[in-house]
Amino acid sequence: MSMLSDESYKKYKEISEKQGIKYKSNSELRDTADNLVGFFEILMEMDQEEQSYKRRLKSEPKGFSMRGNGRNCSLCNKSISEEGFYDKWGFKCMNCQDAINKKKIPGSLCGDYEHKKYMTDSVLSYKTGIHIQTIRKLIRQGKIKARKIPNGPYIITHKDNSNIQTIIHQEKRKEHLNKPKT
């Protein structure tokens, strides 16, 4: 079944061709267009949902609890199916919410999906290829400054760690030197 009118598929074909994209067949063109429509429907739905939460904040400025339904926590980034909390910093798992309420972590760090302000220990490990245990050792040694979300990951802000490149570099060199030569 087609999701769009013939006219829309034709239009989509024209736009694609202008961008230098050619489809092997009409069915490929239709599939691609349909996928795109499905994708935007999801985006719009998410956006509308987000807008409705923002409206709700006007009457409940402190925030409200809601089920995660697979939403990501805007601080630890875990996918949450159970109950979470929504406030001006966005949706969070209960554990992160608690850490923010107790002022262990500033709420302003929430929503940093591009890691412009901080990384968790596991993200840093993933990005640098340094084992997470090594990262945690560096934290214990005070070489990396981090705050722990109780029962959650470490939060490593760029602000507190202006020298992190050097530390990572040193650690990588050490790892390299310790590696048995083959």
- Footprint of Zn ion on this chain (CB under 5 A)? 73, 75-76, 93, 96
Write down the least CB distance from residue 34 to Zn ion, Å.
35
**Nearer of residues 75 and 135 to Zn ion, judged by Cβ:** 75
Q: What is the DSSP string of the chain?
A: --SS-HHHHHHHHHHHHHTT---SSHHHHHHHHHHHHHHHHHHHHHHHHHHHHHHHHHHSTT-EEEE-TTEEPTTT--EE-SEEEEETTEEEEHHHHHHHHTTSS-GGGTT-TT-SSEEEHHHHHHHH---HHHHHHHHHTTSS--EEPTTS-EEEETTT-TTHHHHHHHHHHHHHHHSPP-
Write down the least CB distance from residue 74 to Zn ion, Å.
8
Write down the least CB distance from residue 127 to Zn ion, Å.
19
Write down the least CB distance from residue 8 to Zn ion, Å.
41
**Nearer of residues 76 and 135 to Zn ion, judged by Cβ:** 76
**Nearer of residues 9 and 111 to Zn ion, judged by Cβ:** 111
**Nearer of residues 29 and 75 to Zn ion, judged by Cβ:** 75
